[in-house]
Structure 1
Amino acid sequence: MRLWTVHPQYLDTKGLLAAWREGLLAQKVLLGETKGYTNHPQLFRFKNHPEPLQAIGAFLTEIANEATKRNYCFDKTKILYPNPTLEITETTGQLNYEWQHLLKKLAIRSPQLFAEYKEILTPKQHPLFTLVTGDVQPWEIVN
């Protein structure tokens, strides 16, 4: 499961579809509707938000908006709390770690996107996240 801090505009098709699926799974976990993934580290910042379902709704809304820009049909009715205006504070270190992680994936599965993105030093973040200076989060599983 990867709930990207990186803006969804950078995700290739496979990554965008996975973000949608995994975001919907995260929503089910937060609702208590699944036994698996309940302690997944990617859920930490959503579980600890004062309004976890609204936070995952904001995450999913932006994924769905990106899908619409690409003429994909994601079922937005699956988002329980679409378009909430809230934020999660995230660190620059986390964003940069995820960016390098994404670039490695793109180098293998989307070489054209990798070539386009490899010179970007600081990508945009998902609109849900407000950046502060800091290191990679302690919950991140660093490879």
Structure 2
Amino acid sequence: MRLWSLDPAILDRAALVAGWREALLAQKVLAGGTRGYRHHPQLRRFQEQDDPLASVGAYLVGLQRAATARGYRFDATRILRPEHADDVPRIPVTAGQLAYEREHLRAKVSVREPGWLPRLPADGAPVPAHPLLETVPGPVEDWEVVAP
């Protein structure tokens, strides 16, 4: 499961579509609709919120808006808690996490869609976060499973 911390606007098509599917799975897990993935480390940031379903709903709304801006049709009716998505408290994410994810995405895009690479922030440039997230200083998040 990869719940990108990156602004969905910089995700390539494959990452955006996969992110939508995986966030819908995260929503199902948080709603108690499945037993699998309950302890997945990337769910922690949602589970720690006062209203996890509203938070994951706001996350999904961000993905859906980015998809709509590109002409994709993600079914917004699948979001259990879309109301007040703009009023959900923002979740902190470290600059180190965003930089790590940019590099992770860069490695994937360089293989599957090299023409997308110029759209990714350059090394040293600020990496935009998903609209639900607020960038704070710090290293890679402790819930991230860092690939060797």
Q: TM-score range by the shorter chain?
A: over 0.9
Q: Find the counterpart in structure 2 of residue 64 from structure 1.
A: 64
Alignment root-mean-square deviation, CA: 1.2
Q: Secondary structure at the match of 1:14?
A: helix
Q: Which amino acid aligns with 1:80?
A: L
Query: Match of 1:105, SS?
Result: helix
Partner of 1:81: 81
How many pairs align?
Answer: 143
**Counterpart of 1:53 in structure 2: which amino acid?**
L
Identity %: 45
Which residue in 2 is equivalent to 1:4? 4
SS of 1:119's equivalent in the other structure is coil
1:126 aligns with 2:130: yes
Structure 1 runs of 4+ with >3 Å offset: none
Q: CA deviation at 1:116?
A: 3.8
The one-letter code sitting in structure 1 at the alignment partner of 2:122 is E
Query: In the alignment, residue 142 of structure 2 is paired with which amino acid?
Result: P
| 1:113 paired to 2:116 | yes
Runs of 5+ consecutive residues of structure 1 not aligned to the other structure = none
CA contact (8 A) 2:12 2:116 kept: yes
Amino acid at match of 1:81: R
Which structure 2 residue ranges, 5 or more long, are not aligned? Answer: none
Q: Which residue is 1:142 aligned to?
A: 146
SS at match of 2:122: coil
Taking the aligned partners of 2:121 and 2:66, their CA distance within structure 1 comes to: 21
CA distance 1:72–1:116, change in 2 (3 Å): closer
The answer to whether structure 1 residue 50 and structure 2 residue 53 are counterparts is no
